[in-house]
Each structure stands twice: as C-alpha cells, then as structure tokens.
Amino acid sequence: LEVALFSGIAMLPVREYRRRMERQLLSQMERLREKDIWQLAAGERLKELGLSQSNSYVTRDEFCLAMLIQMEKFSAEDLRECQQAFAKLDVRNRGRLNVAAFRAAEAPSPEPQLD
C-alpha cells in the first residue's frame, strides 16, 4: 500500500507536466495557419497512418486522431490494430459498418458448385 501511495505521489509532477504540454499543443492547433492545414492535409504523417482522404482538406476525425497520436494518448501501432480490426468487419470494403455489412460478414460462404 505504501509503495503504491509513494509511486502515485511521485507521478504527480509528471502528470501535471503532461497535461500542461497537451493544453499547449491543443492551443497551438487552435491557431493553425493555412500552410499548417495544407501540411497536415497533404503531409506524409496522415498518409503513413492511413488517415488522409484528400490533399485538399482534413476531416475532423483525421485531425483528432493525428492530435491524439501527437499527444501520445495512443500510438500509431494502436491505430493500425484498430484499422485492421475494422477492415475485417468491413467485408464490402466501403469504409463504413452497418447492419448489412454485419449480415454479410456472418453469412456462410457459398459452396463451390461442381459440374
């Protein structure tokens, strides 16, 4: 119990520093300039992460995921694992999930017909 208490107390400065850095990063993002938006939209980082839908714009989801990775809330590897899980469910490869997609995923494969 004492070890947990002391380690928790020791982590307080680290947590506060991390929160301060996160707020600073988000504050910077609120002041993005046009060149920053184009760099984010057309930049290699979003493409590497499989997030870039267009070189002309950045979606809210792309922006949020890029910021969460930059703030180290989760890693690029975590994102890839989620994308792979989604791809397994997205049997029609449409980039969205709905009831029809789940029914298609659950349907048995048609047996090959022998002539």
pLDDT tens-digit map of 56-84 = 888 888 888 887 887 788 888 999 999 99
When pLDDT is cut at 50, 70 and 90, the band that residue 3 belongs to is low
* pTM (predicted TM-score): 0.56
Which ranges constitute the DSSP H helices of the chain? 2-30, 34-42, 44-48, 60-70, 76-89, 99-106
**CA–CA distance, 2 with 10 (Å, rounded to integer):** 12
